[in-house]
Amino acid sequence: MGTTGADAPPARGAARPRNRRGQGGNLRTDILAAATDLLDRGDQRAVTLRAVARRAGISAPSIYPHFPGRSAIVLAVVHEAFLELNGLLRSAVDDAHDADRRLYAACLAYLDYAAAHPERYRAMFGELPAGQGVSSPGAGTLRILADTLAQCVTAGQSTSTDPRSDAIALWLGLHGLAHQRAIAHAFPWPADLVRPFVASLSRLGRPGATALP
């Protein structure tokens, strides 16, 4: 069935049709989508109330019932980005079989996300409003890495005695690698860098445990 004019989404920058009663959540979603689009195309400086309103096809004052200001929008975008990242990590883990392969898959998914969305990823770890850190969604990322590493220990594939601490070290390593890859394009990064990198930080010691899928 074809899309009617009433069902078609508004063009970027066009006046947005008024929500029916009870559909205010749609406007919040549109605001976040507009802000995320601006961020992906530029950087955090591109996310202004005026620019977000223009891209969402609304007036700037229409934002205030949903967000008190620009910082709140950026924070919401960051939270949504972490939720998206965590979903990708879980999918990667679920698609692999052995515990060590699940851990590698999660790490590769993490690095792929950072490479695919560099500005969004930078915002996830950038300066946020005071008291508004990434503890909740960020804790989810750490939990996935720690739980998957703990499964490697249980399976005899890792010698870690503190999976959570080693998962923190692994996350810091992944973040550093993602950041350096983003800014040092000319550096001759080894094609097989991730395998020994993850194995070392995760204390993977079983023969063959470092074989990537």
Which residue, of 67, 85, 109, is where some domain finishes? Answer: 67
| Pair (49, 23) in one structural domain | yes
| Pair (117, 55) in one structural domain | no
Map residue 13 onto helix, strand or coil: coil
Other CB atoms closer than 10 Å to residue 157's CB: what's the count? Answer: 25
pLDDT in tens, 41-62: 888 888 999 999 999 999 999 9
| Pair (94, 197) in one structural domain | yes
| Pair (103, 54) in one structural domain | no
| Pair (85, 184) in one structural domain | yes
182 pLDDT band (50/70/90 cuts)?
Answer: confident
Torsion, Cα 10 16 17 20, to 10 degrees, reads 110
pLDDT of residue 193: 87
pLDDT in tens, 128-164: 655 555 456 688 999 999 999 999 999 999 999 999 9
| Pair (175, 123) in one structural domain | yes
| Pair (136, 156) in one structural domain | yes
pLDDT in tens, 77-130: 999 999 999 999 999 999 998 999 999 999 999 999 999 999 999 998 876 655
The residue range of the domain holding 191 is 76-202
Whether residue 2 is contained in a domain is answered as no
Map residue 187 onto helix, strand or coil: coil
Closest to 30 measured CA to CA, from 12, 48, 7 = 12
pLDDT of residue 42: 82
CA distance 117 to 81: 10
Whether residue 157 is contained in a domain is answered as yes
Whether residue 33 is contained in a domain is answered as yes
